[in-house]
Structure 1
């Protein structure tokens, strides 16, 4: 993926000076990132995050007085977040808070770069989504408003939009899930958003797009569709609620 016209502005929040220096070195060696500051406590960083433009936050989980997770809970519109942790058991909490990735100390540059590239792709996706919303959610040119075709192995398969319950991203593939069947497609969520009409579909999480017609219930930031519990990412919650209220 090409680098953006301007690098992603990164803030590092960690009480471990060695970890901070490693992350800063990684940022300085990554052309599409730029460091705009470091803080050794979540409380010190909180006000900056509310008032200054930050694209990507590298956030330590375990800090005194206020943890990284506590800080995320105070932010209404958090930037993209990569958690830094000494323990892998924070993976579930990372998923619930819709973070880009989490890095386990000690951090290698190869692993750092993989997480940073995810953030770059998601930043590009967000820009494209905003542009799509501004153009009234038009469907890609040449696409019938009721269906599209997706490539499954060597076949082109017709997909009726009304039949789709939700789409889930899994690695380099997406699962297009219908009540009695599922298609596994080599694709990105960005490509799905471009093909699927925003009049009935909404991004609920970095890993999920849902059909508003299929939503059965919403509770505790979770959508239920045909007994599937789908998390709502914090950055998508307001849009999902607004769309459901208008639907």
Structure 2
């Protein structure tokens, strides 16, 4: 199944939870998620009971949920969630369609799932997430001016907390379960996720340009084709992130 270059409708990939008691179905949906640039496979569960525990301890943007499961059905799970993420029901039966709309699910996928139909549902979910976030931002009022934003953070390196000044950070690179924070004077390997970095680092200064890179726009020296230059480092730019980067650069 080829990856798509479809432009995402969100800045960061949406965290997805896949729930199905059929391992093959879990694998199929997981592969679809992995091949969609604006989605991120965060976790999978083999039962609604397991998913209930995971949803209490982690935050997700999208829930791909099977309906017919033993002990607790997917619809039963939804009834227990006071504030569920965007939900896409996945089932082999059309008989749950009416109930699905009662729960205001984003979409309803029938097995066997084709990737084009999955992508259609994913786009619908992404648009819903963007609309929800915009509504929340408007309700919260205008953001604080950039000069009032925090100018540093502390990161844990080994057993120490180290201060990192945002103005000195060149870029952040994903390294499995860790990130590599490269500054003007140091390089730090920190146990973190790119999502956490995006939430912590100020948006007026940093932008994600690739699944594995977040860069400080103040240090961009050149941009050509599918890479940019910061100091002596060429950093790849994903096609799905290019438009957002160009909008952030102060160009003629």
In the superposition, the TM-score normalised over structure 1's length comes to: 0.54
* Structure 1 match to 2:202: none
Higher gyration radius (CA): 2
Report SS of the residue matched to 2:82: coil
CA RMSD of aligned residues (A): 1.2
Aligned with 2:44 (options 38, 42, 48): 38
Report SS of the residue matched to 1:20: helix
Task: Note the C-alpha offset of 1:135.
Answer: 2.7
* Structure 1 match to 2:34: 28
Task: Note the C-alpha offset of 1:27.
Answer: 0.5
* Structure 2 match to 1:87: 93
CA distance in 2 between partners of 1:60 and 1:118 (Å):
18
Does the aligned pair in 2 maintain the 1:50–1:75 contact within 8 Å?
Answer: no
Task: Note the C-alpha offset of 1:30.
Answer: 0.1
Task: Note the C-alpha offset of 1:3.
Answer: 3.9
Task: Note the C-alpha offset of 1:23.
Answer: 0.3
CA distance in 2 between partners of 1:73 and 1:109 (Å):
29
* Structure 2 match to 1:4: 10
* Structure 1 match to 2:119: 113
Q: In structure 1, list runs of 5 or more residues that go unmatched.
A: 137-247
* Structure 1 match to 2:172: none
CA distance in 2 between partners of 1:32 and 1:50 (Å):
24
Does the aligned pair in 2 maintain the 1:12–1:58 contact within 8 Å?
Answer: yes
Are 1:50 and 2:80 counterparts? no
Report SS of the residue matched to 1:38: strand
Task: Note the C-alpha offset of 1:13.
Answer: 0.4
Aligned with 1:123 (options 115, 121, 129): 129
Mapping 1:217-228, distance limit 5 Å: none
* Structure 1 match to 2:234: none
Does the aligned pair in 1 maintain the 2:8–2:37 contact within 8 Å?
Answer: no
* Structure 2 match to 1:73: 79
Does the aligned pair in 2 maintain the 1:13–1:59 contact within 8 Å?
Answer: yes
Report SS of the residue matched to 1:111: helix
Number of equivalent positions: 136
Q: Which of structure 1's runs of 4+ aligned residues deviate more than 3 A?
A: none
